[in-house]
Amino acid sequence: MNLNLNDYRKKVLGCWMGKNIGGTLGAPFEWRRQVNQVNFYVQDLGGEPLPNDDLDIQLLWLVALEERGIDIDAQVLSEYWVSYVTPHWSEYGTAKINMRAGLPAPLCGTFGNDYKDSCGAFIRSEIWACIAPGAPQIAARYAYEDAILDHGNGEGTYAEVFIAALESAAFVESDIYKLIDIALTYIPRDCGVAGAVKCAINAYRSGKPWLEARDAVLAGYRGSTFFGFPAHTSLEDTQKGYAEGKRGWDVPSNIGMLLIGLLYGEGDFARSLTTAVNCGEDTDCTAATAGSIFGIIHGIDAIPEQWITPIGRTIKTACLNLGELGYFGNQLPRDVDVLTERTMNIASQVSLRHNLPLAISDRPTDLTGLHAVMLHGDQLCKTLYANMNGPVFRFLDFEVSVDYGAQGPVIRDNLPATVRLHIRNTYKIQANLGLHWYLPDGWKVSPSADGALLALPSHMGEPLEVTFTLEAPAIRAPMNRAVVELTIAGRPTVMLVPLTLLNGNLL
């Protein structure tokens, strides 16, 4: 299969332009629970877009990919987060505080995070789709590593994986129904995001007007209004009972609004974006993602010039530390054209690294042999979310995940804290592992601080699961660290698995 290089360029450029247009269109109405009446930009833009936090962090991920290589994971991304992401609001801020306290992903996105079910992750899915066109399995893995930074085990993680898979598949499939079906295979069937998606589809297929579809989504999947401020909910929505909801449980309804825009837009750029904005809620995010998806499916040539001229092609950032990103941010792409070229450069590396079946070349686009099943994520979905209670550490031949369980990464005076290690041998040779704990003074671990384990290759047996109980008479430090050392007899390999436990005496 082949995707023509120029066709691919047009789709990537359409993605980034659609993102900038939608973000600018929806920004003035952000986080208002109301029906809007928008049919074009409402402000004089002077040829420039509004700052777009939906795009910002993706620019940072581009820099990370260029500096660190394409095999990045959540631990690498978290280092960039604490250095360059400036906001302290909602999930962004909670994640950064947790990272600075020493909690790795996904713990930094879960612990004490009332906004882990909000919208901050799905809005940055495009970079992963664009570097893995037609390979939603790859895009979904990247998206997961990204989303768990600030959404941990919440709905926000499912939302980013869903959108990244949809957008990646959109490079080779244009039918919105098929794209939604593909993306649904990448998230749990019973999650809130999946429910809101099905609600929007059912409303459209049953012939309901988009306003009734909006009501159906809000009736079943709404969170609270913007920090609970009454002024952010219209009188009409208040009278319908939509003024109340769970704080931070925002992303299911907004994914529903996004899809209402695409479904009722019926392939028309303006109608798709304005319908998303007119539904209310997180309007810059829903319209920006609708614009991206449209741009990938149809390419830059399908975006009317009347939408491009008012904002031009430049990029404006809102939440990045420009003083550290080169000389006042010159590491970042200055416009969507440069962003497109740099994205394409990374995509060529991803294609070679993963030997993807879809080639990108000067030959004409030819998708002969493409089957929908190739794009589905049923098998990946079974394993992708297996380690949402703790971080995963990857070594040469082993993968070790730490599960802190329901109690989370905390320990209290004289109370046992349970930690499970899942050890998977990723190579073809069995190994005798030696295990040793390094603990703070006075701590005890059971059943033992030392021991031996036989680790069979994954094709010969199940991964090892070992449960330990930690106990300490008096916790003094706010953050407490321990290390599990794994060694292999007769080999120079040493694997160090760090554990982090917050002082939970006041929690």
Domain boundaries, the chain: 2-382, 389-503
Strand 410-411 versus strand 398-403 pairing type: unpaired
| Whether the predicted pLDDT of 461 surpasses 80 | no
The span from the CA of 149 to the CA of 232, in Å, is 28
Residue by residue, DSSP assigns 217-238 as HHHHH-B-SGGG-GGGB-HHHH
Q: What is the pLDDT of residue 229?
A: 83
Question: Measured in whole angstroms, how far is the alpha carbon of residue 497 from the centre of its chain?
Answer: 25
Closest listed residue to residue 81, CA positions, set 70, 103, 67, 96: 96
Secondary element (H or E) of residue 194: helix 192-205
CB atoms within 10 A of CB 81: 24
The residue that leads in pLDDT, 145 or 324, is 145
CB 402 within 8 A of CB 499: yes
CB 217 within 8 A of CB 198: no
Q: What is the pLDDT of residue 371?
A: 80
Closest listed residue to residue 413, CA positions, set 466, 470, 336: 470
Rounded average pLDDT over 96-112: 96
For 30, residues 6+ apart whose C-beta sits below 8 A from its C-beta are 282, 283, 284, 285
Closest listed residue to residue 340, CA positions, set 4, 7, 8, 12: 12
Rounded average pLDDT over 59-67: 97
The span from the CA of 467 to the CA of 453, in Å, is 13
The residue that leads in pLDDT, 326 or 197, is 197
For 491, residues 6+ apart whose C-beta sits below 8 A from its C-beta are 431
- Report pLDDT digits (tens) over 300-317: 999 999 999 999 999 999
Fold type of domain 389-503:
Immunoglobulin-like (2.60.40)
Closest listed residue to residue 141, CA positions, set 405, 463, 379, 367: 379
Domain spanning 2-382: CATH 1.10.4080.10: yes
User: Distance of CA 501 to CAs 119, 186, 292, 411, 412, Å?
Assistant: 28, 31, 40, 6, 9
**Sheet strands side by side (includes 494-503):** 410-411, 494-503, 479-488, 431-438, 450-455
- Report pLDDT digits (tens) over 150-179: 999 999 999 999 999 999 999 999 999 999
User: pLDDT grade, residue 329 (50/70/90)?
Assistant: confident
| Whether the predicted pLDDT of 228 surpasses 90 | no
For 256, residues 6+ apart whose C-beta sits below 8 A from its C-beta are 196, 197, 199, 200, 217, 221
The span from the CA of 124 to the CA of 136, in Å, is 15
Token pair listed for 317: 């950032």
Q: What is the pLDDT of residue 341?
A: 98
| Whether the predicted pLDDT of 54 surpasses 90 | no
Sign of the torsion formed by the C-alpha atoms of 468, 472, 478 and 483 = negative
- Report pLDDT digits (tens) over 236-288: 999 999 999 999 999 999 999 999 999 999 999 999 999 999 999 999 999 99
- Report pLDDT digits (tens) over 379-390: 999 999 999 999
| Whether the predicted pLDDT of 372 surpasses 80 | no
The residue that leads in pLDDT, 227 or 203, is 203
Q: End-to-end alpha-carbon separation of the chain, Å?
A: 55
Q: What are the two backbone dihedrals, phi and then psi, of residue 430, each rounded to the nearest 5 degrees?
A: -70, 160
Q: What is the pLDDT of residue 278?
A: 98
3-class DSSP string for 47-90: CCCCCCHHHHHHHHHHHHHHHHCCCCCHHHHHHHHHHHECCCCH
> DSSP character for 34?
S
User: Distance of CA 191 to CAs 131, 149, 377, 403, 479, Å?
Assistant: 27, 19, 16, 21, 33
Q: What is the pLDDT of residue 374?
A: 86
The span from the CA of 328 to the CA of 314, in Å, is 16
Q: What is the pLDDT of residue 13?
A: 98
Q: What is the CA radius of gyration of the chain?
A: 23
The answer, yes or no, to whether the previous bond of 51 is cis (omega within 30 of 0) is: no
Question: Measured in whole angstroms, how far is the alpha carbon of residue 487 from the centre of its chain?
Answer: 34
CATH topology agreement for domains 2-382 and 389-503: no
CB atoms within 10 A of CB 127: 28
> Alpha-carbon dihedral of residues 21, 345, 397, 420, nearest 10 degrees?
-10
